[in-house]
Amino acid sequence: MLRIEFFFFKMFVLLSIFHDVVFATPVGKFRLLHFCIPVMYVIVFRHIKVVVRMKKYRKYFIVLFSALCYGGLTYFTSKFQSGTIRIFFSMILNFAVFYFFLFFLEIHKSRIGQILLFLKKFVLFLCVLTLLQWVGALIHIVPISQPGEGFLAVGRPDLFFNDPNWLAFYIVFAYMMVDVMSQWCGLNVSSRYRLVVFIALLFIQSRILLLCFVMHYVYCVAKYRKTWSLIPFVLLLLVCFTDTSMLINVLPERLVYDLVDSDTNPRWLDVVNISGEVQWYHREVFGMGWGSLGSIADDFPYRNYDITINVWPGQIYFDFGIVGVCGFALVFLYTIFKVKGTTFKVIFVFFIINCCFHMPGYFLFTWVLLGLFVYTYKNSVKVTVK
């Protein structure tokens, strides 16, 4: 039976990367994988004695449950109540997946080596598929996201995620978990493995995730004093500061367009639009209500506001007002001060930064990674603390 449970776990991780199977948007579109949740908790209840003793995850439940309840209460003041109720139930399912991963990993802690090996191969598999999609698009046999952008104007690989940034998010944070778990198990992540991940991210061209990957690498190098590995990045920084025109001419427009001309940056326009909407309705304190962003689509028909925007603090302000922004800031600061181990603090900060830009927090695959992150932190922190 344990083998069957472990097989189901691996299948669930594999299915979580398919956009059409698991995509749960803020407007509440439920997919096939959500029907696996009852099966997941049948597995949990088979080991209920183990689950009951898991008191170390209690505070995560309290924080997430409180946030969920507050979000649900905004239904009564929401300007777009149908959106609020749909995102509320969608996030309940995401939280259920998060806790299942905590429970499952705790139950199968004796198989952590197998889980690490599976995740390591899985990240490599995604990176290879990314490169194959780009090559396939180059010879016009495979569709690709955003054709006309990227290297050689081929496009940006997105695989099954429907967005290149979400693919990059998954690869980067799954890779970071592999790196931490490898330290935990006394193993090393080879330079060739890191190089494959880096090349895949170059072709995806998600700038903030590329930056996070490089900074994480620099942190790991500094931690283990492999200073010679920093030479390429030092040279790159020197080029950036001495001749920016060279980078503009060499790099794809995707990487530099809003750095050269800040007026073309859509994120600033998003912030102006949604903050103006909140002030127009005098909802600065408590916001417009969770999931009500679609209510301003009529005011700005040229911009799709039905799903998300690229500035998470702006959306928190729109949904929950000043109260929500302050609440999020308190949780963030509390976590930074309470988390033990510099490694996990670095990963947590990177995670929050990427949530601010690419809005992955509403999607099921993010909660899969978050469950893995919390379990790894609670069980390997002694290894990573200096």
Per-residue confidence (pLDDT) for residue 385, from 0 to 100:
37
The pLDDT, as a whole number, for residue 382 is 46
Please, what is the angle between helix 112-138 and helix 191-204, to 10°? 40
Q: Between the ranges 45-59, 275-289, 350-364, where is the mean pLDDT highest?
A: 275-289
Please state, in angstroms and rounded to a whole number, the distance separating the CA atoms of residues 219 and 141: 39
Q: What is the pLDDT of residue 44?
A: 74
Lowest-confidence region among 139-143, 175-179, 328-332, 337-341: 337-341
pLDDT at 124 over 90: yes
Give Cα separations from 76 to 288, 293, 358 (angstroms). Answer: 10, 16, 28
pLDDT of residue 26: 41
Lowest pLDDT segment from 69-83, 136-150, 218-232: 218-232
Say if residue 305's pLDDT is above 60: no
* Sign of the alpha-carbon dihedral angle for 262, 168, 36, 97: negative
Which pLDDT score is estimated for 298?
63
Confidence of residue 172 (pLDDT cuts 50, 70, 90): very high
In this prediction, residue 248 carries a pLDDT of 57
Of these ranges, 57-71, 253-267, 295-309, the one predicted with the greatest mean pLDDT is 57-71
What is the rounded average pLDDT of the residues 324-341?
85
In the chain, count of helices (H) and strands (E)? 17, 0
Q: Which of 37-51, 57-71, 165-179, 345-359 tops mean pLDDT?
A: 165-179
**Residue-level pLDDT at 234:** 61
pLDDT on residue 200: 92
Q: Binning pLDDT at 50, 70 and 90, where does residue 25 land?
A: very low
Crossing angle (nearest 10°) for helices 37-46 and 81-107: 40
pLDDT at 231: 62
Q: What is the pLDDT of residue 278?
A: 83
Rounded to an integer, what distance in angstroms lies between the CA atom of residue 101 and that of residue 41? 10
pLDDT of residue 233: 58
The per-residue pLDDT for 197 is: 93
Mapping DSSP to helix (H, G, I), strand (E, B) and coil, where does residue 88 land? helix
**Model confidence at 118: pLDDT above 80:** yes
User: pLDDT-derived band of residue 300, with 50, 70 and 90 as boundaries?
Assistant: low
Element (H, E) at 135: helix 112-138
The closest alpha carbon to 155, from 207, 211, 209, 205, belongs to 205
> 279: exposed, middle or buried (C-beta count within 10 Å: 0-12, 13-18, 19+)?
exposed
| pLDDT of 335 higher than 70 | yes
> Residue 322 above 50 pLDDT?
yes
Query: What confidence score (pLDDT) does residue 206 get?
Result: 83
What's the pLDDT tens digit per position in 200-237? 998 988 888 888 888 888 777 666 555 555 566 566 65
**Which segment, 129-133, 249-253, 371-375, 378-382, is predicted with the most confidence on average?**
129-133
Average pLDDT in the chain = 76
Q: What is the 3-state secondary structure (H, E, C) of 74-124?
A: HHHCCCCHHHHHHHHHHHHHHHHHHHHHHHHHHHCHHHHHHHHHHHHHHHH
How much is the CA Rg of the chain, to the nearest whole Å? 21
* In the predicted structure, residue 254 carries a pLDDT above the cut 60: no
* pLDDT (0 to 100) of residue 196: 93
- The domain spans of the chain are 110-264+339-384
Check residue 23 and give its pLDDT: 43
Instruction: Tell me what the mean pLDDT of segment 145-163 comes to.
Output: 79
pLDDT score recorded for residue 386: 37
User: Do residues 141 and 131 make contact, with C-beta atoms less than 8 angstroms apart?
Assistant: no
Token look-up 């088979």 returns 46
Of residues 40 and 222, more confidently modeled:
40
SS3 150: coil
Asked whether the beta carbons of 79 and 287 are under 8 A apart, the reply is: no
